[in-house]
Amino acid sequence: MSYCLNPTCPNPENPTHSERCQSCASRLLLRDRYRVIKALGQGGFGATFIARDESLPGEPSCVIKQLRPSGSAPHVLQMARELFEREAVTLGKIGNHPQVPRLLDYFEDHEQFYLVQEYISGATLQQEVKAQGALSEASVKQFLTEIMPLLQYIHEQKVIHRDIKPANLIRRAQDSRLVLIDFGAVKNQVNQTAALQSGHTALTAYAIGTPGFAPPEQMAMRPVYSSDIYAVGVTCIYLLTGKSPKDLDYNPTTGEMMWEHLVPISTHLSRVLRKMLEVSVRNRYQNAGEVLRALEMEPYLDSLAQSLILQPVGGIKEQVNNRQDDSAIINSNSSGSHSSAGVAQVAAAIRARRAKVAEATGATSHRLVGTKTNTWENKNTDIIQNSQSQIIRQLNTEGLRNAYTKGRRDFASYNLSLLNLQGIDLSGTNFHSSVLERANLQGANLFNSDFGRASLNRANLRDANLSKAYLSHADLEGADLRGTDLSYAYLNNANLRGANLCGANLTGAKISDEQLALAKTNWMTVRPNGKRGLL
């Protein structure tokens, strides 16, 4: 089919190879090369179409955006023209990023303005949620770790997107990577002086954004970089609940979105999302890097907070002082750290201080203070202190199984090495930063579990279900992953040196060619694109 781009055409559909529209006689081959085949949608300032580029071999698909102002008044036309020129400049500047559509062409034809972009095949996050339901906490963490580096890149180019939402995020079918589309609402001329003086960018002439996803300062025509962070936060709530902002209640006093009662997520993710969704720009994360650091800091702070109940035998005053000292170390480092190394510095500083306290008091043993433990924990949990004065929790097989049966899902920073967990159901569990070296997890159900930064060195994961598991920065060196289901797992930055992936299913997994080159694969290995064969 050939689709007519004349906005007033009564019947835009035409036979495939027509030269002119049968209804309005408009030329159908745009710029003598682009043939529009169907409409994708229409917004306030333009319409979007899928087209074929007949000037190239294979006639590849592309996306064409047409200026289509909602009125004929001069100021409306000028506004639409500025939006399209802005999007062209922005895409030309940032379109070399793999998660942004490339700008292929930009031109004016008979007083109409057109953008030609790379066509991204795949489903939007909005379509995914409507088809499959709300996402899990681990999946939302994966989403944040993938979208935040992209947002950081965009902001470094002095670009504010201003319309981040599930409908503008496509999971590319080719490699399952998220691609951010629709840069028509961007603000790419940030007035740095005004931003420094007033805390926001220079005023725009009109408010742009999707109500509910855009924060108050953006709707008041004062967008800042953290406006995009707010929109990502609202997107996370949509992914977790399946509800649009208009379907949620708001606190009438503060204006804050009320969502936490709808999703049983961990305290740390709830904390991160609350700060992303702060109504006040001053209290919100100021840049994407801060969000990433908060996500990286989370498991360490959780384990450190838990370990504060383990104090050297002594008086209550000493315990309180220790807690205050630890908090001071965390607070002094959290604002000054600008890399993931800051996490290790915080932990190391606390360990060093505790070592000095232990040495000064001559303490050689630890006890639980101010907490009541479960029977399974007393019986099956060993709490020891290593030479670096670091608290390590250990569980035996029976203890882990009983704890999971009773509803516990958080085993972050535990030592579970050498445990025989063959065939066990541990789906949806948090093993962040845990040690599972040489553990037997053959045939285990680990669906949607969090193994971020965990050590699975030489673990037996043969035929296990690791679908949608989070394995970012995990150590899988020498692990047996033969026949393992790793479909849609997040393996970015995981160490796969010597890992055996023969017969593993990596459909839709987030993994690089460089990582796979370090692992063992064979013709039975299913690649991320869903095809079987050597990698």
Note down pLDDT in tens along the chain; length 535 residues. Answer: 899 988 889 999 999 888 899 999 999 999 989 999 999 887 656 788 999 999 999 899 999 988 766 666 777 777 777 777 877 887 888 877 889 988 899 888 876 788 898 999 999 999 999 999 999 998 899 899 889 999 999 999 888 998 999 999 999 988 888 999 987 655 544 333 333 333 333 233 345 778 889 898 988 888 999 999 999 999 999 999 999 999 998 888 888 889 989 988 988 899 999 999 999 999 999 999 999 888 876 554 444 444 443 333 343 344 444 444 444 444 444 444 444 444 455 555 555 554 444 444 443 333 333 333 343 344 455 444 443 334 457 788 888 988 888 888 888 888 999 999 999 999 988 898 899 999 999 999 999 898 989 999 999 999 999 998 999 899 999 999 999 999 999 998 899 999 999 999 999 899 998 899 999 999 889 999 888 865 4
- In whole angstroms, give the CA distance from residue 115 to residue 88: 7
The residue among 286, 288, 290, 310 whose CA lies nearest residue 298 is 290
Tokens of 505: 């299913």
Inter-residue contact 248 to 187 (CB < 8 Å): no
- Helix and strand tally (H, E) in the chain? 13, 18
Q: Is the pTM of this model over 0.85?
A: no
Active site residues: 163
User: In terms of Cα–Cα distance, which of 221, 225, 209, 259 is closest to 239?
Assistant: 259
User: Which residues lie across from 366 on neighbouring strands?
Assistant: 312
Give the whole-angstrom CA distance, residue 411 versus residue 142.
Answer: 19
Rounded to whole angstroms, the Cα distance separating 289 from 24 reads 53
